[in-house]
């Protein structure tokens, strides 16, 4: 019997946003509430990872466990993993900064792991031309154009076989997402169709874009 729990990451510093983006209002509720609500509806339990400064402001959220984050995203994930009950077999890692992730997106990554993948991630085709660059005397210079067909933009929620995710996180490894750590230990990472609405709020202007994509301006 599979048991699925989610870890919602809200312990970043929001340096590009200029504050705690998870606590910003988006429609009638805060960014983190959207993220926790979807995680709750798709899993048996939810672990919220926060900064100690946010403990009072997040006390009302409907989660099972609250843990404090670390200096890096990977460290925050490890702190969340440490709070998982023994019976959990499938773990979903989600950026609280992606309030528009849908239940359908959660379900598709969870289903892919239940079907046998070590990990499953949402991917979107990239539409801009991608170029590799280097620092030159007067600024950046192009070194080559990347084949766009071999590249996808990867989002969260990302689902994992619990044992693989724990194995990938040994030795205090670091990556910008957890699938990157699975790749490093030779695991299989399946890509499911992503969703533009699951945009990550990085800067202030992303709040308005998220509201539009989530249909909150109607
Ligand atoms: N995160 C975390 N712990 C960290 C760093 C990031 O829990 N030490 C979380 C963030 O809260 C966010 C997600 O990981 O939900 C993705 O990170 P990012 O968008 O980079 O958020 P921040 O690190 O907060 O933003 P910035 O990089 O602009 O400082
Ligand atoms: Mg960051």
C-beta of 13 in contact with ligand 1 (< 6 A): yes
Ligand showing the shortest atom-to-Cα distance for residue 201: 1
pLDDT of residue 173: 83
Q: Give yes or no for residue 163 having a pLDDT over 80.
A: yes
The dihedral over CA atoms of 42, 196, 14, 121, expressed in degrees to the nearest 10, equals 50
In CATH terms, the fold of domain 4-122+153-213 is Spore Coat Polysaccharide Biosynthesis Protein SpsA; Chain A (3.90.550)
Rounded Cα distance, 218 and 201, in Å:
20
- How far is the centre of ligand 2, averaged over its atoms, from the C-alpha of 72 (Å)? 8
Pocket residue to mutate for ligand 1, from 30, 52, 73, 174, most atoms within 8 A of Cβ: 73
Q: Which of 7, 10, 12 to mutate to test the pocket of ligand 1 (most atoms within 8 A of CB)?
A: 12
The span from the CA of 114 to the CA of 92, in Å, is 12
Beta strands in 32-89 (DSSP E): 45-50, 65-68
Mean pLDDT value across residues 170-180: 88
Residue nearest to atom 6 of ligand 1 (CA): 12
Residue 200 has pLDDT above 80, yes or no: yes
* Per-residue model confidence as pLDDT tens digits over 111-153: 999 999 999 999 999 999 999 999 999 999 999 999 989 999 9
The domain ranges of the chain are: 4-122+153-213
CA distance 157 to 200: 11
Indicate which residue's Cα is closest to atom 21 of ligand 1: 12
Q: 14 in ligand 1 pocket by Cβ < 6 Å?
A: yes
- pLDDT at residue number 111: 98
Q: Is residue 5 within 8 Å of residue 45, measured between CB atoms? A: yes
Centre of ligand 1 from the C-alpha of residue 13, in Å: 6
CA 39 vs CA 32, 169, 203: distances in Å: 11, 22, 23
pTM across the whole model: 0.96
pLDDT tens digits for range 29-42: 999 999 999 999 99
Q: Give the number of other CB atoms < 10 A from CB of residue 150.
A: 7
pLDDT for the residue numbered 125: 95
pLDDT at 172: 81
Going from the Cα of 12 to the center of ligand 1, the distance in angstroms, rounded, reads 4
For the CA of 96, the nearest atom of ligand 1: 15
* Residue 9 pLDDT exceeds 80: yes
- Please name the residue whose Cα sits nearest to atom 10 of ligand 1: 12
Does a cis peptide bond (omega within 30 degrees of 0) precede residue 142? no
Task: Using the Cα atoms of residue 115, residue 121, residue 127 and residue 131 in order, give the sign of their dihedral.
Answer: negative
Element (H, E) at 34: helix 31-42
pLDDT at 218 over 90: no
The ligand that comes nearest to the alpha carbon of residue 19 is 1
C-alpha torsion angle, residues 121, 124, 128, 129 (rounded to 10): 60
Decide: 11 in ligand 1 pocket, CB within 6 A.
yes
Round the average pLDDT of the chain to a whole number and report it. Answer: 96
The torsion of the CA quartet 201, 59, 54, 92, rounded to 10 degrees, works out to: -50
Instruction: Name the region of 211 (left: φ>0; alpha: ψ -120 to 50; beta: rest).
Output: alpha
């Amino acid at each position: 019997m599979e048991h699925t729990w989610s870890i919602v990451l809200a312990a970043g510093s929001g340096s590009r946003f200029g504050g705690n983006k998870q606590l910003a209002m988006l429609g009638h509720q805060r960014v983190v509430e959207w993220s926790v609500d979807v995680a709750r509806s798709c899993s048996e339990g939810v672990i919220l990872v926060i900064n100690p400064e946010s403990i009072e402001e997040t006390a009302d959220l409907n989660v099972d466990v609250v843990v404090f984050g670390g200096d890096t995203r990977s460290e925050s994930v490890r702190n969340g993993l440490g709070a998982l009950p023994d019976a959990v077999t499938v773990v979903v890692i989600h950026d609280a900064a992606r309030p528009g992730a849908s239940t359908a997106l959660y379900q598709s990554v969870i289903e892919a792991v239940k079907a046998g993948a070590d990990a499953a991630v949402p991917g979107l085709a990239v539409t801009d031309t991608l170029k590799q660059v280097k620092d030159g005397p007067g600024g950046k210079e192009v070194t080559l154009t990347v084949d766009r067909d071999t590249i996808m933009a990867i989002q969260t929620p990302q689902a994992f076989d619990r044992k693989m995710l724990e194995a990938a996180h040994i030795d205090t490894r670091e990556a910008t997402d957890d699938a990157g750590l699975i790749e490093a230990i030779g695991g299989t990472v399946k890509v499911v169709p992503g969703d533009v609405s699951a945009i990550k709020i990085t800067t202030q202007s992303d709040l308005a874009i998220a509201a539009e994509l989530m249909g909150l301006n109607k």
